Structure 1
């Protein structure tokens, strides 16, 4: 009757091959070559034979083989169940050698029991090592997550949560936590659906700063986004067909692991790390990067919310300043016409018998009261527009060219012969002549204030198919593109307007926009240094379908227009 030691010695190669055939299924996805896969198990098998021959256990010598095997499998990303199964497979391969042999050619029961005991001890050792490793991993992960939280909190306290320096500090923690050589964060830019490097650290840092790409799945960052909640890995960037930043290859990076930020909800960006060695990433590494990415996503979202909050606070502070300034200007502007009217009224009261002879004084009083009334009306209409309401219109058939001519004549009377009118005939529609007159007046005075003093101001009226247009053009400094987006909002003045000699409330263009909106039209603005600035009112021929119903509802089929 053979002993277990004799069976193992006589069938050593056969047992190893059997184990290789059955165990490689668990390792097939990891790309391990044969020497790397079988580097320790044959030696452990031999130690089982030695222990059987001596009639005892392998002790420390045998335990070292088990620990070395388990450590190698940890590095290669095996799960504990897979490694335990490897020892169970070894036991089945050993017993398979005598499965069909007659009873007298099989080891005795006590010997077989000792074999199973040794294998059970090996399995328990593996389980204990994996448990210890996981506990250490969890503690390490907690430490890095606390570091991330500390740096992120400090960034918020310093009012720079999304600065490149702060992001780089966060990436350094992730780099260390992953044991990587390179780490980069690409943030999503919704305007052009691109991913742009916000921060990077490690080797290839300077080159990565300039990297940008699209969401198309062919570039590596696009593939990471497409992976959704799963991580995306590349075993070797030198052989992949994906588009990878050339700076990574030049820096010696081979293996890459990336994660979408966040795994769910709206895309914020992509985080990835790189290694100089060529290998697969373990399940634990993937899980760790997902956890780190999740915490980084929270910080980035907090930074975005913080920036939005800061922007709103600044907007409120700006609005408060504008309102205070507006009250000051309003008091000053209203005091002028009201004081003039009051002085005129006192003069008439002192000499009532000359009332007939002082007709000019009465007219002056009337004009100044009308000026004050117009200021109040402009203010009330601006508040109506700011509240999202349309200006009420008194509609009638009117000639846009005639309205423009009246405005040009009034402006010429006040400011001289700088105003030119180019109007087609019979540009007639159903509009509010009163509102159009105010809008063109505001555009004309705006051109007078901010246009070149030595160039004409041209009013143009044209008919273009389904629309009528009235434009005002002036030469002079261009309106910055950033200012063009906000110029129609109440109390907003451009940077040049604030620093220039002309003062105002910042309501004129808001009222122009409100007039266009109430008619169902729009205002267009083009401005550059070469051709000058043109404001264009575009109107439908009939404004009636765009009026508010008595119950406050709009007519069906009407498009809303917003500044």
Structure 2
């Protein structure tokens, strides 16, 4: 009667051949690409052949072979059932060697039992090794999640609105270490250009990848990652991939890429990917780990965005508070002047009522100061209305824009001297509010006096083109910065140069000009440069009636 060990020695090549064929078919049936099967199994089978005469003597060596085999299968993405099945296939392949043999050529029942006891021990070892690996892997993942949390928290504590983005490289290096990768990058989504721009890169080719931007085209690797949702996307070989891969990646020595969307659900924030310097498939565990790390990173990016928005709102509230305090002080000063003058005049008249007919100039001065105060209050209420998103109410009638401009210029000349010039086409007429147009042009002229060059003329121009009329005021002097031009029509806003200059004001004049244009269905714009000076232009439709709100 022959032994199991002897049969294995005589048929070892045939056993390995059959095992390879059946194991490959089982892997293919589970959707796995053909892994490297001829790694440690021939050595394991050879150790079974050496058992004759000394059962169990090589148990320790075989345990080491099983551990090596399991480690290789983990890297290839096998699960525990698939590896146990490989040892079951091996048992069937060995038993097939004596299936058709005569009773004398078959091993004893005790010898066969010893073989399957050994294979069962190998399967038990596989289960133990997988459990231990999963536990260690889980602990490792928790460790890296804690480290990532620590880095992100430190970034927020520093108080800089962009601190998390500055620390993205530190976070990315942790993720690369956790994944056992050689490179990685985080690309953040820019909605304005509908593109993904590298915010951080680490490892191989990090210098070349730092300023890389990618389109959202699904034919590109970043675009496919962004469209993948809660699934990972991978490239087996970046050098030969049919997907569009950035030149720095193709030339970096990186081969296999794995990417994840940030976050898996909700609005796109960006993507993250890692790269290996070898060509191989990523395991299910590696994909799960990158998804977990990506979800954690998405939370920190969301927190950073919320923190940045909160800081901006706090700064805006602080600026608004300072502006209101300044406005109240200016308001008190400006209103006190005309009210004090009116009060003094009234008291003088009350002390000498018999001289009322002789002091008509004093009565007129009181009336002017009260009217001036009323104008200030009206301007304040109208600016508050505009800030609240309401339109200025208009009393529309046929009026001549050139005539309104002429009245404003004459009043300004009486107050400030002969610096004002008017160029007006004839009969620029329309259905407008003469009162609002007068206030708008007065504010533009007063603004030019305050901030324009003192020795230069201020020019009013009134023209008509088709169904539109235009009134513009031009002056030379300091140029308005682009940032000031964007903010200048907002209520209670004064430019940086105005805040540092001698001229004081409420910052309402240009807001009221904007409100006048909007109420008429028109626009107001500003153009300012060193070569041509500063020009404010008020453009109106010839008939403002269609632009008025309907009566409820």
What's the TM-score once normalised by structure 1's chain length?
0.89
Instruction: Indicate the residue corresponding to 1:225 in structure 2.
Output: 226
- CA shift digits 1:37-76 (9 cap, x unpaired): 3111122222233346755585112222111100111122
Structure 1 residues without counterparts, runs of 5 or longer: 552-563
Instruction: Indicate the residue corresponding to 1:496 in structure 2.
Output: 497
Instruction: Indicate the residue corresponding to 1:135 in structure 2.
Output: 135
Instruction: Indicate the residue corresponding to 1:64 in structure 2.
Output: 64
- Tell me if the contact between 1:348 and 1:354 (Cα under 8 Å) persists in the aligned partners: yes
| CA distance, structure 1, for counterparts of residue 405 and residue 431 of structure 2 | 15
Alignment map for 1:470-485 (pairs within 5 Å)? 470-485=471-486
Instruction: Indicate the residue corresponding to 1:80 in structure 2.
Output: 80
Deviation at 1:147, TM superposition (A): 1.2
Structure 2 residues without counterparts, runs of 5 or longer: none
Alignment map for 1:28-427 (pairs within 5 Å)? 36-51=36-51, 54=54, 58-97=58-97, 109-160=109-160, 162-163=162-163, 164-248=165-249, 251-427=252-428
| CA distance, structure 1, for counterparts of residue 104 and residue 539 of structure 2 | 106
- Tell me if the contact between 1:5 and 1:53 (Cα under 8 Å) persists in the aligned partners: no
Instruction: Indicate the residue corresponding to 1:528 in structure 2.
Output: 529
| CA distance, structure 1, for counterparts of residue 438 and residue 182 of structure 2 | 68
Instruction: Indicate the residue corresponding to 1:557 in structure 2.
Output: none
Deviation at 1:108, TM superposition (A): 5.6
Deviation at 1:428, TM superposition (A): 2.6
Instruction: Indicate the residue corresponding to 2:448 in structure 1.
Output: 447
- CA shift digits 1:440-492 (9 cap, x unpaired): 22122222222333433333333334433333233333322222222222111
- CA shift digits 1:4-62 (9 cap, x unpaired): 434433433233222222323566677667xx431111222222333467555851122
| CA distance, structure 2, for counterparts of residue 327 and residue 236 of structure 1 | 68
SS in 2 for 1:326: helix
Deviation at 1:161, TM superposition (A): 5.8
Deviation at 1:322, TM superposition (A): 0.6
What's the TM-score once normalised by structure 2's chain length?
0.91
- Tell me if the contact between 2:24 and 2:34 (Cα under 8 Å) persists in the aligned partners: no
| CA distance, structure 2, for counterparts of residue 355 and residue 255 of structure 1 | 99
- CA shift digits 1:399-441 (9 cap, x unpaired): 2222222222222222233333333333333222211221222
| CA distance, structure 2, for counterparts of residue 90 and residue 267 of structure 1 | 49
Deviation at 1:168, TM superposition (A): 2.5
Deviation at 1:294, TM superposition (A): 0.9
| CA distance, structure 2, for counterparts of residue 63 and residue 401 of structure 1 | 101
Check 1:376–1:117 CA distance in 2 against 1; reply closer, same or farther (3 A cut). Answer: same
- Tell me if the contact between 1:220 and 1:242 (Cα under 8 Å) persists in the aligned partners: yes
| CA distance, structure 2, for counterparts of residue 88 and residue 468 of structure 1 | 92
Instruction: Indicate the residue corresponding to 1:558 in structure 2.
Output: none
SS in 2 for 1:355: helix
| CA distance, structure 1, for counterparts of residue 102 and residue 489 of structure 2 | 99
Deviation at 1:274, TM superposition (A): 2.5
Check 1:456–1:105 CA distance in 2 against 1; reply closer, same or farther (3 A cut). Answer: farther
- Tell me if the contact between 1:57 and 1:118 (Cα under 8 Å) persists in the aligned partners: no
Deviation at 1:334, TM superposition (A): 0.7
- CA shift digits 1:165-221 (9 cap, x unpaired): 422322232222222232322222222122222223334333333222332334432
- Tell me if the contact between 1:162 and 1:300 (Cα under 8 Å) persists in the aligned partners: no
Deviation at 1:105, TM superposition (A): 6.2
- Tell me if the contact between 1:155 and 1:161 (Cα under 8 Å) persists in the aligned partners: no
Check 1:527–1:108 CA distance in 2 against 1; reply closer, same or farther (3 A cut). Answer: farther
- CA shift digits 1:358-397 (9 cap, x unpaired): 3332222221111111111111111111222222222222
Instruction: Indicate the residue corresponding to 2:516 in structure 1.
Output: 515
Check 1:14–1:502 CA distance in 2 against 1; reply closer, same or farther (3 A cut). Answer: same
Moved more, 391-400 or 461-470: 461-470
Check 1:19–1:375 CA distance in 2 against 1; reply closer, same or farther (3 A cut). Answer: same
- Tell me if the contact between 2:77 and 2:283 (Cα under 8 Å) persists in the aligned partners: yes
Instruction: Indicate the residue corresponding to 1:15 in structure 2.
Output: 15
Deviation at 1:251, TM superposition (A): 4.7
| CA distance, structure 2, for counterparts of residue 453 and residue 26 of structure 1 | 92
| CA distance, structure 2, for counterparts of residue 298 and residue 78 of structure 1 | 31
Check 1:152–1:56 CA distance in 2 against 1; reply closer, same or farther (3 A cut). Answer: closer
| CA distance, structure 1, for counterparts of residue 228 and residue 238 of structure 2 | 18
